Structure 1
């Protein structure tokens, strides 16, 4: 698969270094594990409180609108939209863009893509990966490929072409474990990886050549309890016969790793077991909590953000929605989804221009485990970026 190793400048990506600096400053001046008080009304946030639910059941702040772009089992472009839509990301496509979405079902998971024209009209949809297993959060690379992660025992990472022109390839050097999410750090030329286990680890993959993930070194984060961390090599990334997370003494344990996002020297990731948002400062090699377990949002899951430094954290369970965390650590609700009590929010991702947010309700109003009620949404409005 050909690689383009240069990273785009300008547009929403141009503020990445700034947003990382803002968060590093907040992390270093604040106390460990602290965020600002949660503002359930939303009045303290940049957009104000969510209004009453719209016709799609989405409660949004003033000036924002929603639409449904795909439903499981219904035709979109050239395909039937997949069950249990999972992790997602957006990619530039000429004067339009592409939204890629994983399918979190057994055996037939894979991933699909929707191509949008410059005005937001759906131009086409197609499969980019098939025959894989429980594809979860995943992540985007700086060379515009999609990393689709299998959330099973000895799961694999598949590198996919969002345009669907080239075959997806397994990247076995990135380890065999219950993969969840991936986030690329172009400064250190590594890929961070979360693990969906109650005692999972946080990894980084150092490819032998940046832009080519076929070979390299897998390392696991180890910590001493002070916030400082070290990285140690995983002896056998194939996880035979010992599981990957059990191979290195002193590996730091996390309660169910979920979403992962890198921005300007900081890698943010979430853990669902204790409802935390973590920040790994890659420049200082320190680990801190930026949102702690006392936050009211249950089932913290995937995470995305904008170049302004705002983080958007998805939740499930009884508090079905997306919360906003500003670089000043103000935490407010951004949107809520009504009538989906047995579902979860997956795949939040911004369009290349930063003016549209995509996400899915994985099981929709039906709430069935097979994900046949999945719904994928688009939210447009005056996002700051």
Structure 2
């Protein structure tokens, strides 16, 4: 993931960049050069003259909030840009809450006045973006947490930031670079409206495990949670009081109604809805990383590295990054009104889809998947019929895409390249692929 100092300053000077129109032959050549199959979508990707982000013709982008830049609170933008969500702000602004997936050994850190654990470097930053897609301000909003990978937005205007690590003070001896002073593996809530760093409060009842992402059912207030492990479970948290996650609730894990301890890694039929039920986790905050062990013992289904999840139109879509016969990824669809789950997409080749991570349901009917594979990284679109297409390519290096989310008006797609840490705003001729 090399990134030269010279290119960094080129990115820092980038404002809006328009992609060029290409001939059919040029489009064919570009596809061959990328070595990836192109399905339906917005057309072939056009090589970016700035060498940052290849997009279909007609789309533009702007970059901001790069690692190392000085923020409005006097701290520097940390690295590890990851999960993110967009909220409506005052005076036609957009507020982004952005995770930073940083460990105690990371070279950069989220700096705040009241860290949860002073030995940890992860957390979140808030960004205020104007109607012209220009950055107005950015600042630390959560600090002292461990590997904030993804999370999810809530209907009440907050971001749930998830720790993807379950270290404890006894995991490493004092003095080890990985030492922590508190238990980790929790969710933390960050209001989009905050103007300063929040006081971190772990949402203990939501479980202590390798959290990845969450999504909230706006009809019920139930929170669905993914877990990034090879033998992960799919959870739901039923709060005692809607919108008040800190007041506790019940944690449960999904079980296939007719399959005890289902293992969904491979050999599941696509587009076949299967009935589910839920088993209750009696120890959501165990001293060891055993939440998934308890759930599986009760018959819950295992998934291959549950990662990004997003809600849209009564349905939840979540990625299993290493799922499928080839280990290249799956996308599952859960419909709470029917209590069914089905395998929606499974990659059949790296040219088609390679290890999807974060996910967003677009306002235009498609899913946008952020790849986290071993080579070239793409944003991959999925139509309502399950057809795959490339929407963007990281032209900088082989670092993952993360944090894809749309502005409240649906006109701008925000996304991160994790390393060296860049946030993009993308806009252009969006079209509906419904029907």
In structure 2, the partner of 1:62 is 57
Distance 2:416 2:133 in 1: 17
In structure 2, the partner of 1:41 is 38
Question: Could you say what secondary structure the match of 1:245 adopts?
Answer: helix
Q: Return the match for 2:125 from 112, 123, 129.
A: 112
In structure 2, list runs of 5 or more residues that go unmatched. Answer: 1-35, 104-119, 167-183, 263-272, 324-328
Q: Return the match for 1:158 from 188, 192, 198.
A: 188
Distance 1:384 1:306 in 2: 11
Deviations 1:330-378 (A, max 9, x none): 211011112312x111111111111111111112xxxxxxxxx222212
Distance 1:90 1:332 in 2: 24
Distance 1:227 1:73 in 2: 48
Q: Do the aligned partners of 1:148 and 1:160 also contact (CA within 8 Å) in 2?
A: yes
Q: Do the aligned partners of 2:48 and 2:54 also contact (CA within 8 Å) in 1?
A: yes
In structure 2, the partner of 1:336 is 393
Q: Do the aligned partners of 2:53 and 2:396 also contact (CA within 8 Å) in 1?
A: no
In the TM superposition, what is the alpha-carbon distance from 1:202 to its structure 2 partner? 0.4
In the TM superposition, what is the alpha-carbon distance from 1:241 to its structure 2 partner? 5.0
Q: Do the aligned partners of 1:53 and 1:337 also contact (CA within 8 Å) in 2?
A: no
CA RMSD of aligned residues (A): 1.7
- Greater Rg, structure 1 or structure 2? 2
Deviations 1:110-131 (A, max 9, x none): 0001101222221111111001
Deviations 1:163-191 (A, max 9, x none): 33453432111110000000000223200
Q: Do the aligned partners of 1:277 and 1:291 also contact (CA within 8 Å) in 2?
A: yes
In the TM superposition, what is the alpha-carbon distance from 1:307 to its structure 2 partner? 2.5
Q: Return the match for 1:271 from 297, 320, 337.
A: 320
Distance 1:179 1:105 in 2: 14
In the TM superposition, what is the alpha-carbon distance from 1:53 to its structure 2 partner? 2.4
Distance 2:237 2:65 in 1: 34
Q: Return the match for 2:406 from 350, 354, 367.
A: 350
Q: Do the aligned partners of 1:297 and 1:319 also contact (CA within 8 Å) in 2?
A: no
Deviations 1:201-223 (A, max 9, x none): 00000001111102111000011
In structure 2, the partner of 1:17 is none
Q: What is the TM-score with the length of structure 2 in the denominator?
A: 0.74
How many correspondences in the alignment? 335
Q: What is the TM-score with the length of structure 1 in the denominator?
A: 0.83
Correspondence 1:52 to 2:99: no
In structure 2, the partner of 1:90 is 86
Correspondence 1:380 to 2:412: no
Q: Do the aligned partners of 2:254 and 2:278 also contact (CA within 8 Å) in 1?
A: yes
Distance 2:242 2:411 in 1: 30
Correspondence 1:318 to 2:350: no
Change in Cα spacing, 1:256 to 1:72, as seen in structure 2 (3 Å) is same
Q: Return the match for 1:72 from 44, 67, 75.
A: 67
In structure 1, list runs of 5 or more residues that go unmatched. Answer: 1-38, 364-372
Correspondence 1:261 to 2:293: no
Correspondence 1:235 to 2:282: yes
Q: Return the match for 1:287 from 341, 344, 356.
A: 341
Change in Cα spacing, 1:375 to 1:241, as seen in structure 2 (3 Å) is closer
Change in Cα spacing, 1:229 to 1:103, as seen in structure 2 (3 Å) is same
In the TM superposition, what is the alpha-carbon distance from 1:40 to its structure 2 partner? 2.1
In structure 1, the partner of 2:254 is 221
Distance 2:219 2:305 in 1: 27
Distance 1:321 1:125 in 2: 27
Deviations 1:254-292 (A, max 9, x none): 111110011122110001112001101211111111111
Distance 1:84 1:113 in 2: 14
Higher relative contact order (CA 8 A, sep 6+): 1
Distance 1:276 1:54 in 2: 33
In structure 1, the partner of 2:151 is 138
Question: Could you say what secondary structure the match of 2:220 adopts?
Answer: coil
